[in-house]
Amino acid sequence: MSGNGLSYSEQGGEAAPELGQEAATTTTPSIPAAFGLFCSDIKKNEDLKQMLESSKDSAKLDAMKRIVGMVAKGKNASELFPAVVKNVASKNIEIKKLVYVYLMRYAEEQQDLALLSISTFQRALKDPNQLIRASALRVLSSIRVPIIVPIMMLAIKEASSDLSPYVRKNAAHAIQKLYSLDPEQKEMLIEVIEKLLKDRSTLVAGSVVMAFEEVCPERIDLIHKNYRKLCNLLVDVEEWGQVVIIHMLTRYARTQFVSPWKVSFSLEDNFCEKNFYESDEEQKEKDQKVKDTYTMDPDHRLLLQNTKPLLQSRNAAVVMAVSQLYWHLAPKSEAGIVSKSLVRLLRSNREVQYIVLQNIATMSIQRKGMFEPYLKSFYVRSTDPTMIKTLKLEILTNLANEANISTLLREFQTYVKSQDKQFAAATIQAIGRCATNITEVTDTCLNGLVCLLSNKDEIVVAESVVVIKKLLQTQPAHHGEIIKHMAKLLDNITVPVARASILWLIGEYCERVPKIAPDVLRKTAKSFTNEDDLVKLQILNLGAKLYLTNSKQTKLLTQYVLNLGKYDQSYDIRDRTRFIRQLIVPNEKSGALSKYAKKIFLAQKPAPLLESPFKDRDHFQLGTLSHTLNTQATGYLELSDWPEVAPDPSVRNVEIAESAKEWTGILGKPKKEKPTEKFYSESEEEEDESAGTNSSGRYLESNLHLRCLENCIFRTDHYFKRIGKISVPTKTHELLHRMSGKGLAAHYHFSRQPGIFGDRMVSVQVTVTNTTDHKIENIHIEEKKLPSGMRMHEFSPIECLEPAGSVTVSVGIDFCDSTQMASFQLCTKDDCFNVSIQPPVGELLLPVTMSEKDFKKEQGMLTGMNETSTAIPVAPQNSTRLVVIEKLVKAANLGVVPSGQDNIHRFAAKTVHSGSLVLVTVELKESSTAQLVINTEKTVIGSVLLRELKPVLSQG
Amino acid sequence: MIHSLFLINAAGDIFLEKHWKSVVSRSVCDYFFEAQERASEAENVPPVIPTPHHYLLSVYRHKIFFVAVIQSEVPPLFVIEFLHRVVDTFQDYFGVCSEVMIKDNVVVVYEVLEEMLDNGFPLATESNILKELIKPPTILRTVVNTITGSTNVGDQLPTGQLSVVPWRRTGVKYTNNEAYFDVIEEIDAIIDKSGSTITAEIQGVIDACVKLTGMPDLTLSFMNPRLLDDVSFHPCVRFKRWESERILSFIPPDGNFRLLSYHVSAQNLVAIPVYVKHNISFRDSSSLGRFEITVGPKQTMGKTVEGVIVTSQMPKGVLNMTLTPSQGTHVFDPVTKLLSWDVGKINPQKLPSLKGSMSLQAGSSKPDENPTINLQFKIQQLAISGLKVNRLDMYGEKYKPFKGIKYMTKAGKFQVRT
């Protein structure tokens, strides 16, 4: 230490005049110390202090670099604190950074002085540069000084509503720091967590979930509303965040959904039970019945569906996280998809292999089928480290079955010969396990093991003996020969465990080898004093057993052995000797027990079960530290069992907060309990918005949209199922004719997706087609001439469109609930074309679901000026319920309200921009007419809609 | 999550420590040293070691142990993967990751580590973001900084950190725009005594070196994408596009990166490009053994097999070997008992062979197993699975890039049991 310290001082003295050689100064090898053993530390620090106080930034920087070098080596640099902390406000960003590094390390030790720096950070928290704000928050929250807790709390609260997601991310990290400093702040911090959980930035999601897990993992209720958002954001979150979120969602799902496994269990049962004579039909019925009993919650499905692509991640931790999620949550039939990815991870570093193999070992015990196709991937190579070899062996043993056992045994033969003896021994145990598990090969294995008894290596022989002993115990009847063979071996084997095992075997089955057993006792009695304790105990045992069965021949021998044992050095053996003597040798004092001596010693002993050491690991969540260690690690969060009955799934429904409030507000009923019970599908808004925030092209931009679309379709399907499967075909309008567009044609249609670009925008799908014979480049929107209030979200420019190619892009337009045209220019690299989109009023609506009762209530409040009505002709073929619904829903984006009366059809929607309710009623009258009534506060919309809907039912 | 990090060299010295929460005394590493002592070799040190109050998770690379200290439950792979990422970052920054390099650049290392984790949770791990925050040291920059007083530390948040393509910087400019893709396939195989294949599989990667101006959007398509059975992508690849069209579409990171790694489906029979004829025998009575191996090409599709290296771990009883190779050079280390024969190219007309005798320890019995032979080789311009890139297109930028695709087949874990 002092030698090194000296080198610094030496160097410092030299380096000070020529500050240029910065990089070198921290690490130049030490110059042999010849003097100043005692003053070196002080000297060095003086020198650094001087540099820190110098007016030149370069000197300060140099000093800071050397100090950080000291910190890195773990040397104490705390006494420089006052000198360093002065530089916290330095203009030079690198000096500042290094001072921060230093502060985080030593502030805890020098609390009073650290306070000097606080004001600098408080100022920096208001800096216009987000990086500076963020790093100020980072340092401020990393200074573990209890006095500043209130300041930290305040800073976190402010940062959590910062505009920059990067700063908000840092705020999420700061929550954990503050919590570990002062757990009393929990309640306040939960509020911040709750707020940040609502954040839509992918940058924040991982960090805030981490904070959640650390601060309040029990507050599962905070997740409900964010569940769908988190599922949908998942692909876009950075990889580390993904791991944390997936683990959290696994726990969440286990508390909220019912088990999908019961189904597969009963299916399997059916399978086994399937009577040969039972007719197929009956079987089908059964299956049907089973299927009916379970339908997976769509949210449960959503989670499985959105995590699946992450199996392709390059990050092993993500792949493992998804795998454990599938293991713990997916129906058994689906969990198989993870095996391929897990096997892929085996190509990775040894550490990754180690963890992955451990998890596969646990999995393969319960569900062999998952990994059977990959059997050969677990074959051991001579270059694998021993721990990897043993794990692979473990898995191979788990996977062994009647079909593959012969190949496996051949493979095991090679392993037994391995130069790595520890591994060879493990292989012998594996063979033993295979032998017990698969009865067909027990004899083969046993013979093989007996052959190994003549191996030259002691460890191999010893292990074989132990395994043979266990095997023989399971079926001793046939194996007198083997026992004799082993008795012969006793002369050569020196490993205590093996000797002990043989002795035990002979003792246990002494009646099968009546001639040999006494002889063995004779031999061992001779060598008793030189044996290992373990062996001595077994000699005593053997003696006792022989005494009981064959006392004529062995009485004296046993007494001799017992006498030897009486004076043994080990009290364990002396104890045992005394105990045995009392029990077997009858004397006047012997109690009632000695009558039962034979029963005690020669009781039928249960055969040992050869089990995998991974058998009991499955109660830990896979992929966790606790699973790896097989003990509960600090902070391990138990995975709960599936609930018998699923908790209310509607807690995850997210209210469309603003619009809902708005229209309830308009209706003058602010306290309405369930106005948004089923607004079409709330989660879609979410998904789409989350897509919107990322819309400019990150990983899977298009995919995201696709996914949203899929979800929408899935949802709409789901939704319409209830009212009889009506699809909404979308009519296409022309935006730009190819003649006027010099070969560029454009069409648009309304995709009826709520709010991809924001909840007040109508989304329009524009299909651009190139009809020329050359490429059209850079297609984009320019010169929007929008009426005031209207907004438009453009598509990102299309770089290049091949001849005859076409591209569909989405545009969002906020029409402000008016049918005014949105005009803009569609431009290519060379030309500009004026185009405009005019929305039919039916597309300015979003469907709303509500009950008939609510509908009537709302209608009652929208009478008078707010009601328009007219009589319309109805073609005879259009008078059935299905057709009416189909026609109206096609014409306008309306939600169907279930109706009690056959002749009255009700539809509800709200306007996209303001969220005002639009209620449509069609009452079919006799003689092919109907009364069409529209109630809405937006009278203009109402009357235009009336006009548009009028002809709908009259046409065929 | 990650409390502290200790870097320990082969000699058992802790040469760097970094703490993200309160300081953990370095004495915690004693548990690690204990485990290290128990394990005979460095690679047998268990990656997870529990201690009374902490857990030590470590990775071993470049002869350095990176030991992370954990205090509570965390997915172990999370930490291990992160530690590997740290090593990769160092390698990226300094060219090599070695003790000397880390010591020489200790300040940069420290700054980088500071940015990579905040309170033990990963903050920025994309190397292009890190490089904007903390510029890698170069000689030129060091000189310039000394003169101008500018620093290595960026003062703006890197655009990537907030962007939707965090792996790419904005404002990349090159005079020569070029994109190179290397399709590298590795054969993992175990061949048994008689020369028949026990298991063989092909794993491949596509490594790219892309130096393109601006924000290019690339698509890469294959002639036979069906060959790819299991794939994992760099985050830049649009997964849905792959799912639906089997096309790789991506905005590439700047510089070197691994675009894709894949596994060729097991149904396809793997062509084994080389064979090894061996005759290794120990005799019980004599202290001399015979050793003879010949390497020859098998299914090479007319390409030359080169860079052949044969290594074999001889049994402990072998004292020395007297061998003559028909080509190349060979070394036998009597201490580690490792035989290594650098063969070079295989000439099909004159097959390389290594013949001679082994001298065994007198009196010791003959080893019960013949040594396993490990093989390394390379075949240029061939992807053994038959995978072929169809075309590479670029959208989004106007210039014409120079495109290149190279194929190579290598031996992965290629073992011949004798």
Closest-CA residue of B relative to A178 is B119
For CA atoms A711, A713, A716, A718, give the dihedral sign.
negative
**Residue A860 structure tokens:** 């009652």
Lowest pLDDT segment from A24-33, A401-410, A625-634: A24-33
Same domain, A761 and A848: no
**Is A64 inside any structural domain?**
no
Closest-CA residue of A relative to B263 is A344
Residue A626 C-alpha, separation from nearest chain B C-alpha, in angstroms = 7
Q: How confident is the model at residue A681 (pLDDT cuts 50, 70, 90)?
A: very low
Closest-CA residue of A relative to B265 is A340
Q: How confident is the model at residue A179 (pLDDT cuts 50, 70, 90)?
A: very high
In sequence order, the β-bridge partners of residue B325 are B354
Which residues numbered 228-247 in B keep a CB inside 8 Å of some CB on A?
A: 229-241, 243
Same domain, A148 and A119: yes
Q: Reduced to 3 states, what is the DSSP secondary structure of residue B197?
A: strand
The domain tally of chain A equals: 4
Residue A331 C-alpha, separation from nearest chain B C-alpha, in angstroms = 22
Q: A98 to chain B: which residues are within 8 Å by CB?
A: 107, 111
Closest-CA residue of A relative to B146 is A20
**CATH assignment at residue A784:** 2.60.40.1150
Same domain, A86 and A146: yes
- The C-alpha angle A230, A236, A241, rounded to 5 degrees, equals 65
| Nearest CB to A68; choose among B107, B152, B369 | B107
Residue recorded with tokens 């990889």: A239
Q: B50 to chain A: which residues are within 8 Å by CB?
A: 629, 631, 633
What local confidence, expressed as pLDDT, does residue A199 receive?
A: 87
For CA atoms A413, A415, A416, A417, give the dihedral sign.
positive
**Is A499 inside any structural domain?**
no
Lowest pLDDT segment from A270-274, A886-890, B47-51, B236-240: A270-274
Q: How confident is the model at residue A590 (pLDDT cuts 50, 70, 90)?
A: low
| Nearest CB to A383; choose among B48, B107, B374 | B374
What local confidence, expressed as pLDDT, does residue A890 receive?
A: 80
Query: How large is the ipTM?
Result: 0.91
Same domain, A803 and A926: no
Inter-chain CB proximity A700 and B80 less than 8 Å = no
**Residue in A166, A200, A250, A314 to test binding to B, most B beta-carbons within 10 Å:** A314
A43 vs A907 pLDDT, higher one: A907
CATH ID of B178-270+382-416, from 2.60.40.1170, 2.30.110.10, 3.40.50.2300, 3.40.50.1000: 2.60.40.1170
For A619-717, list the strands marked E by DSSP: none
Q: How confident is the model at residue A659 (pLDDT cuts 50, 70, 90)?
A: very low
Length of chain B: 418
Same domain, A111 and A204: yes
Same domain, A832 and A864: no
Same domain, A885 and A931: yes
Inter-chain CB proximity B153 and A93 less than 8 Å = yes
Q: How confident is the model at residue A211 (pLDDT cuts 50, 70, 90)?
A: very high
Domain closes at, from A580, A603, A626: A603
Closest-CA residue of A relative to B72 is A634
| Nearest CB to B413; choose among A238, A247, A383 | A383
Say yes or no to pLDDT of A718 above 70: no
Say yes or no to pLDDT of A133 above 80: yes
- Give the separation between CA A667 and CA B385, rounded to whole angstroms: 69
What local confidence, expressed as pLDDT, does residue A466 receive?
A: 80
Task: Report which of A92, A102, A34, A99 is spatially closest to residue A58, judged by C-alpha positions.
Answer: A92
Sequence spans of domains, chain B:
2-148, 178-270+382-416, 274-380
Same domain, A144 and A251: yes
What local confidence, expressed as pLDDT, does residue A292 receive?
A: 52
**CATH assignment at residue A871:** 3.30.310.10
The answer to whether residue B123 neighbours chain A at the CB level (below 8 Å) is: yes
Q: Is it true that domain B2-148 has CATH number 2.60.15.10? A: no
- Put the strands of the sheet holding B217-222 in their side by side order: B247-250, B217-222, B389-395
**Residue A51 structure tokens:** 């540099």
Segment A240-254 mean pLDDT:
92
For CA atoms A168, A172, A177, A180, give the dihedral sign.
positive
Beta carbons of B19 and B28 less than 8 angstroms apart: no
- The one-character DSSP state at A52 is H
The answer to whether residue A387 neighbours chain B at the CB level (below 8 Å) is: yes
Task: Report which of A806, A800, A684 is spatially closest to residue A748, judged by C-alpha positions.
Answer: A806
Mean pLDDT of chain A: 78
Domain closes at, from A196, A228, A256: A256
Query: What number of other Cβ atoms are within 10 A of residue A816's Cβ?
Result: 18
**Is A82 inside any structural domain?**
yes
Matching fold, domains B178-270+382-416 and B274-380? yes
The range of the structural domain enclosing residue A520 comes to 514-603
Q: What is the pLDDT of residues A379-395, one digit of tens each?
A: 998 888 888 999 999 99
The answer to whether residue B104 neighbours chain A at the CB level (below 8 Å) is: yes
Q: Is it true that domain B274-380 has CATH number 2.60.40.1170? A: yes
Closest-CA residue of A relative to B15 is A73
Say yes or no to pLDDT of A180 above 60: yes
Q: What percent of chain A has pLDDT over 70?
A: 82
**Residue A594 structure tokens:** 């000695």
Q: What is the pLDDT of residues A823-853, one digit of tens each?
A: 888 888 878 888 888 888 888 888 887 888 8
Q: What is the pLDDT of residues A473-518, one digit of tens each?
A: 776 666 777 788 888 878 877 778 888 888 888 888 887 788 888 8
**Residue A334 structure tokens:** 């689906």
Q: What is the pLDDT of residues B283-322, one digit of tens each?
A: 766 778 888 999 998 888 888 899 999 999 888 888 888 8
Task: Report which of B43, B39, B108, B116 is spatially closest to residue B82, judged by C-alpha positions.
Answer: B116
Lowest pLDDT segment from A99-103, A884-888, B138-142, B173-177: B138-142
Q: How confident is the model at residue A726 (pLDDT cuts 50, 70, 90)?
A: very low
Residues lower than pLDDT 70 in chain B: 138-155, 157, 159-164, 265-268, 284-285, 363-365, 368
Inter-chain CB proximity B73 and A134 less than 8 Å = no
| Nearest CB to B104; choose among A23, A210, A706 | A23
What local confidence, expressed as pLDDT, does residue A14 receive?
A: 39
Inter-chain CB proximity A625 and B230 less than 8 Å = no
A585 vs A632 pLDDT, higher one: A632
What local confidence, expressed as pLDDT, does residue A294 receive?
A: 73
Same domain, A176 and A136: yes
In sequence order, the β-bridge partners of residue A925 are A929
| Nearest CB to A355; choose among B77, B266, B413 | B77
Same domain, A751 and A861: no
Closest-CA residue of B relative to A19 is B146
Residue B274 C-alpha, separation from nearest chain A C-alpha, in angstroms = 19
- Give the separation between CA A207 and CA A701, rounded to whole angstroms: 23
**Residue A290 structure tokens:** 């089973």
Inter-chain CB proximity B235 and A626 less than 8 Å = no
Q: What is the CA radius of gyration of chain B?
A: 25
**Is A340 inside any structural domain?**
no
Alpha carbon distance, N-terminus to C-terminus of chain A: 97
What are the DSSP calls for A317-371, one per residue? HHHHHHHHHHHHHS-TTTTTHHHHHHHHHTTS-HHHHHHHHHHHHHHHHH-GGGT
Segment A686-699 mean pLDDT:
39
| Amino acid at the residue A136 | A
**CATH assignment at residue A94:** 1.25.10.10
The answer to whether residue A207 neighbours chain B at the CB level (below 8 Å) is: yes
Q: B80 to chain A: which residues are within 8 Å by CB?
A: 316-317, 349, 351-352, 355
**Residue B68 structure tokens:** 């992370």
- The one-character DSSP state at B347 is B
The answer to whether residue B87 neighbours chain A at the CB level (below 8 Å) is: no
Same domain, A834 and A941: no
Task: Report which of A595, A34, A100 is spatially closest to residue B118, judged by C-alpha positions.
Answer: A100
**Beta-strand relationship, B178-191 and B402-416:** parallel
Segment A804-821 mean pLDDT:
80
Closest-CA residue of A relative to B395 is A799
The answer to whether residue A319 neighbours chain B at the CB level (below 8 Å) is: yes
Phi-psi region of A439 (alpha: psi -120 to 50; beta: other; left: phi over 0): alpha
- The C-alpha angle A268, A269, A272, rounded to 5 degrees, equals 90
Inter-chain CB proximity A628 and B105 less than 8 Å = no
What local confidence, expressed as pLDDT, does residue B143 receive?
A: 65
**Is A401 inside any structural domain?**
no
Inter-chain CB proximity A379 and B121 less than 8 Å = no
Same domain, A830 and A741: yes
Task: Report which of B407, B378, B347, B353 is spatially closest to residue B273, judged by C-alpha positions.
Answer: B378
**Is A238 inside any structural domain?**
yes
Judging by beta carbons within 10 Å of its beta carbon (0-12, 13-18, 19+), is residue B324 exposed, middle or buried? exposed
What local confidence, expressed as pLDDT, does residue A436 receive?
A: 83
What local confidence, expressed as pLDDT, does residue A34 receive?
A: 41
Q: What is the pLDDT of residues A518-557, one digit of tens each?
A: 888 888 888 888 888 888 998 988 888 888 888 788 888 8
Q: What is the pLDDT of residues A290-304, one digit of tens each?
A: 445 677 888 899 999
What local confidence, expressed as pLDDT, does residue A476 receive?
A: 62
Alpha carbon distance, N-terminus to C-terminus of chain B: 47
The answer to whether residue B166 neighbours chain A at the CB level (below 8 Å) is: yes
Segment A258-272 mean pLDDT:
57
- Put the strands of the sheet holding A762-770 in their side by side order: A732-736, A744-754, A762-770, A806-814, A791-793
What local confidence, expressed as pLDDT, does residue B152 receive?
A: 64
What local confidence, expressed as pLDDT, does residue A711 receive?
A: 44
The answer to whether residue B183 neighbours chain A at the CB level (below 8 Å) is: no
Q: How confident is the model at residue A760 (pLDDT cuts 50, 70, 90)?
A: confident
**Is A485 inside any structural domain?**
no
| Nearest CB to B106; choose among A72, A93, A309 | A72
What local confidence, expressed as pLDDT, does residue A754 receive?
A: 61
| Nearest CB to B72; choose among A240, A418, A633 | A633
